[in-house]
Amino acid sequence: MKIHEKYITRCIEIAKNGLGTTAPNPMVGSVIVYKEQIIGEGFTSAYGGPHAEVNAIASVADKTLLHKATLYVTLEPCSHFGKTPPCSDLIIKHGIPHVVIGTMDSHSKVSGKGIDKLKAAGCKVTLGVMEAACKEHHKRFFTFHSKKRPYIILKWAETQDGFIAPKTRKEQKPVWITNPYSRQLVHKWRAEEQAILVGTKTVLEDNPGLTVRDWTGKHPVRVVLDRALKLPKHFQIFNNEAETLIISEKEIDFSNQVAKQLADYLHQKDIQSIIVEGGRETLQTFINENLWDEARVFIGNTSFKQGVKAPHISGKIISETIIDTDVLKIHTNEN
């Protein structure tokens, strides 16, 4: 089993090359091993492109080795026709005798059907290798299909004395709490998720672009709460750099369970993951309704003495990282 874990670990590593590009498909990684040597590997292409198993098989120089090799994959191979043909059919076609799978696919179109098809063709299937790690890796995909909502990440920065914004500001632009390294990390995160959400007040006060300026990658869909459609069209969120989704009273009822309605609406839009970067009111709405999976909280090396208090959150702190003068705490929701 230890040798299997080694190769599934590699699958997870290479799968991350697809961060932010594969949704609504899962971000899968696959390696092919012959006599304890990796002879092929692949990860899921951008949505509409080949899946990880297809790319791994294509990368094998000597295809005659496939009928004696083992294919490792983080998630059960698909068995249905979508944008691409079933991966299980391709594995069978090439006569790969052994498939090692991290975890089953919870999607109703797959969920055991890929495994059944492989077994029916005489393929040996080993299931559940590093299952917890693979489920964690596929958390966006699993949350979307099991909870019928996006994977929700809350993010904010607060001062040493617990404020998220100053009492007053002189200009219509952000008042930075964190250092440039932390801000660059936030742009990396934006490139990894499908969407980013802010409220009306954040747009009016900061005029943010909400794009990936300090990193490479795809811009997230900008989701903006604008209840009365009062935001001026000259603001950056209306430029052509990225898609913008405005949510007003036409889409949801702002008087009750706003976070729940937003989660339902975004699920209908096929958005699998979102970073909530709004102000205190927007963030606290998600916290109060217990609709969040992670909270990424920066504590900057500055103080405001007075201002807007940071949101109050509970949950398990799973990591605490020093980034130059800042501290980053990652909370997870265990409820």
The CATH number of residue 71's host domain is 3.40.140.10
Q: Residue 34: CA atoms inside 13 Å, Cβ hemisphere, count? A: 16
Last residue of a domain, one of 92, 114, 143: 143
Q: Are 135 and 172 contained in the same domain?
A: no
Q: Are 85 and 170 contained in the same domain?
A: no
Q: Are 137 and 54 contained in the same domain?
A: yes
Q: How far apart are CA 1 and CA 235, in angstroms?
A: 56
Last residue of a domain, one of 143, 160, 175: 143
Q: Is 249 a catalytic residue?
A: no
Residues 81-87, mean pLDDT to the nearest whole number: 72
Q: Are 106 and 73 contained in the same domain?
A: yes
Q: Are 79 and 173 contained in the same domain?
A: no
Q: How far apart are CA 165 and CA 157, in angstroms?
A: 9
Domains of the chain: total: 2
Q: What is the pLDDT of residue 292?
A: 98
Give the pLDDT band (50/70/90) at residue 110: low
What pTM was estimated for this model as a whole?
0.92
Q: Are 136 and 157 contained in the same domain?
A: no
pLDDT in tens, 184-233: 999 999 999 999 999 999 999 889 999 998 888 899 999 999 999 999 99
Last residue of a domain, one of 125, 143, 161: 143
Q: Are 321 and 190 contained in the same domain?
A: yes
Q: Are 303 and 196 contained in the same domain?
A: yes
Q: Are 309 and 178 contained in the same domain?
A: yes
Which residue, among 191, 161, 199, has the nearest Cα to 177 in the 3D structure? 161
Candidates 5, 36, 53, 76; catalytic one: 53
Query: For all residues of the chain together, what is the average pLDDT?
Result: 93
Q: Are 153 and 124 contained in the same domain?
A: no
What domain range is 288 assigned to?
149-332
Q: Are 134 and 242 contained in the same domain?
A: no
